[in-house]
Amino acid sequence: MSTLVIVESPTKARTIRNFLPTGYRVEASMGHVRDLPQSASDIPEELKKTEWAKLGVNVDADFEPLYIVPDDKKKIVRELKAALKGAKEVILATDEDREGESISWHLLQILQPKVPIKRMVFHEITAEAIKSALKNCRQIDDRLVHAQETRRILDRLVGYTLSPLLWKKIKWGLSAGRVQSVAVRLIVNRERERRAFKSGSFWDLKANLYAPKQDFPVQLVAVGGKNVATGKDFDEATGKIAKGRKVLLLDEAGAIALKNRLNGKVWSVSNLDERPATRKPSPPFTTSTLQQEANRKLRLSARDSMRVAQALYEQGFITYMRTDSVHLSQQAIAAARQCVTTMYGSNFLSKEPRQYVTKSKGAQEAHEAIRPAGETFRTPQETGLSGREFALYDLIWKRTVASQMADAQLTMLSVQLTVEDALFRASGKRIDFAGFFRAYVEGSDDPDAALEEKEVMLPSLKVGDHPVCQELNTVGHETQPPARYTEAALVKMLESEGIGRPSTYASIIGTICDRGYVELVNNALIPTFTAFAVTSLLEEHFPNLVDPSFTSKMEQTLDDISTGSVEWLPYLKKFYSGEQGLSGQVKSRDSLIDGESARTVRLEGLDDDVKVKIGKFGAYIQVGDGDRTVNSSIPQNFTPSDLVPDKIELLLKQKLEGPDQVGIHPESNEPIFMMMGQYGPYVQLGQATDAVPKPKRASLPKGMQPEQVTLDLAVKLLALPRTLGAHPDTGNRVFVNTGRFGPYVCHTKGNGDKDDNRSLKSTDDPYTITFERALELLSQPKTLRGAAAAKVLKTLGKHPSDDEAIEILDGKYGPYVKHGKINVSLTKEQSVEALTLEEALSMLASKSGKTTSKRTKAASSETKKTTTKKTTTKSTATKATTTKNAATATKKKTTTTRAAATKTAATKK
């Protein structure tokens, strides 16, 4: 008899096995084994006709949740039950946060063990931590389970009540969420600010001076005792100097006149200032700050940061990565201080051990900050890690070690210089003692390079000195609109407002991108037209649900439920039921919300007669009324900020007057038109006719504007596709062309086979690429794109049955394993980096048992017919009896499971 230990993932199971004594068997649940139904097919047959089952929560029976075992978890449950038969004891060792507590509770409900049960929690997967956790097991914390269950029910109520209203009024497939909708509103509001922003212009002067042994730059700050206007002096709403600001606004003519007046005049040092400054190290990472810094430094998305951190935790390299706390244990402080002494010297060590205080509300997901695991910290080079795992561990190691280092000591330098009545200033800083900068500089990968950038030295000067002006220039400026949110900035805002939990930010950002509310372009989150429409509807009819302060109070209430200070059932009833509850509000507002108005997007700066609407096939512009209405599709790559009057005029002009003619093609004598299509601007050779329904077209290169296209350029663009030669294996055509996703080479297979395409690299030019280079690209493994063609994250090896590759791809809803036509999604607990070939084969085998192609089904059907003819009546009767017994057993089992769940829910209440 063994002790059965259950964790979430195979990686975590493998790591823990190394630290457990003999007689312990470790199995993985692969995350949650039960959840609310995700679709109608998940609902038990006997409940399909009940209205509440579609919601997954029986609001009329004290919000009783309907838990089911998803199809992809049934095999895992069977395996866990089989492992339980030989166990003398069960230890539930899921993660220590609310989610982990909930997983353990669900395992307990579904396995119903007859042997003793213990709950084991630990903050890191090391020998010492596991040994200590075994000695200090506890029972499942019902308060944490209640808090997590209430959160899950609340999210389901919001999503499943509001989303159908959005489908009805705006567009099918949209979704709303308790935190998701607030995050979208923040991004939309920032875009509104950008559209409302009015740019202002101002000029100033910059000079390059020379003092003994050194050049240094200076900038104009005042003329005649009056400060020169800078960007901060402008009103964003008007683009003019804000009221009450008494500054001198220089235009180009004024700046040139001032430059001419000052040229050749004597410069004098009028004032020197040196001020000491101290910089203290940042606290060690929390979930939120890790996501922010990984996004800034490593360009990792919040979702990728958490995936990599999960893998590092499960392999025993870092402590638990879902935490609000900046606290470090005494063991961690000692390990960090030892690293400082060894790596940098004792003079870089802080005089006293630093302990940081957590400021986040309700910081209780874990007890310690994210740090390297163990009593001693392995340096990044000692881990054997590579790629993103190495980069993230390096970041965590540096931040933790730096937190115990001495302050950085700087001297801030300032020099004022006068030339006639103009005042210039030069600023610099000197690093007197690098302190923690030696290990970690916020926002920089290389501390040494960052130190050079941080230190801006000025020459040795004294009052009365006369530096020589080597160059004096006028410089024009335009004020800039508020910057869009990056993932790091959005995470910081959500946390500061108390919206959601840091552990959910990665999935929230991933969801709003996947659902088409936001596009991530160059690390900036840009809202779509759909996001504007949905946000406007929620603001007008359900303002509380997108109010950050309301959502923050809701989050606090959920935290209070976990401490027992608030009762969960009265809170859910108040939120959802009655006329003022969410359900009543949705029903009462359904008839008040006009669908046509809801589908209309209001954008700052557009004429009243120009409307932007959400249609079945995307956003479009509508101008005029009645019979004079003109509609024009908005290209998919247009963002709300792109939709300025000039662009609208171009779209409408093409619709009303036809496209502009660029010129006549020198070879074919056909006109070349500039067109605007679904995916942006393109040139077209000739008119579309019955004889030629699809004339030759070519998209403009990324970033090129229609007005930049000349006749020569248009002819060049239309030269594609170019035939490069015949493929040596098939003799079929190889050509280069450009498409929606950029230039590519193609090998036409023929005989009904799909053509073979490869995207060109950034160094390849489609107009000059050679046949040999095209063959080289075609010989490389294919990298897929999008949902049906996703990026290959990792190749695990070949399948033993057919030698075809088994790969992990990055799909629309996260990473998944692919072999041939079989795809299996990774669970939340599985990581790309840690998944092995053996685990992938097991996942594929489980899925392939349920996935049958049409051809296989047909063959199976034919075989079944043949077998039926040869089977005796006795065999048929036996089979029918067996099937009936199995169905009865299944029905009995379903009823028992549901009864047990109902009984448990009643007990909890």
Q: Which residue has the tokens 């957590």?
A: 358
Please choose, from the candidates 40, 31, 152, 174, the residue with its C-alpha nearest in 3D space to the C-alpha of residue 514.
174
The burial of 499, by beta-carbon neighbours within 10 Å (0-12 exposed, 13-18 middle, 19 or more buried), is given as buried
Q: Note if 313 is an active site residue.
A: no
Please choose, from the candidates 140, 179, 159, 119, the residue with its C-alpha nearest in 3D space to the C-alpha of residue 38.
159
Please choose, from the candidates 787, 804, 786, the residue with its C-alpha nearest in 3D space to the C-alpha of residue 796.
804
**CA gyration radius, the chain:** 33
Please choose, from the candidates 494, 562, 571, the residue with its C-alpha nearest in 3D space to the C-alpha of residue 98.
562
Neighbours of 251 (CB within 10 A): 12
The burial of 830, by beta-carbon neighbours within 10 Å (0-12 exposed, 13-18 middle, 19 or more buried), is given as buried
Task: State the catalytic residue, choosing from 24, 210, 313, 320.
Answer: 320
Identity at 558, one-letter amino acid code: L
Could you tell me if 322 and 366 are in contact, meaning their C-beta atoms sit under 8 angstroms apart? yes
Could you tell me if 119 and 135 are in contact, meaning their C-beta atoms sit under 8 angstroms apart? no
The whole-angstrom distance between residue 883's C-alpha and the CA centroid of its chain comes to 47
Q: Which residues contact 846 (CB under 8 A, 6 or more apart)?
A: 72, 75, 824
Q: 98-111 and 71-85 are packed helices; what angle lies between their axes, rounded to 10 degrees? A: 70
The DSSP output letter for 233 is G
SS3 (DSSP) at 298: helix
Give dist(CA 680, CA 651) in Å, integer.
10
Please choose, from the candidates 752, 702, 761, 757, the residue with its C-alpha nearest in 3D space to the C-alpha of residue 735.
757
Q: What is the 3-state secondary structure (H, E, C) of 103-165?
A: HHHHHHHHHCCCCCEEECCCCCCCHHHHHHHHHCCECCCHHHHHHHHHHHHHHHHHHHHHHHH
Give dist(CA 190, CA 596) in Å, integer.
25
* Residues tagged active-site: 320
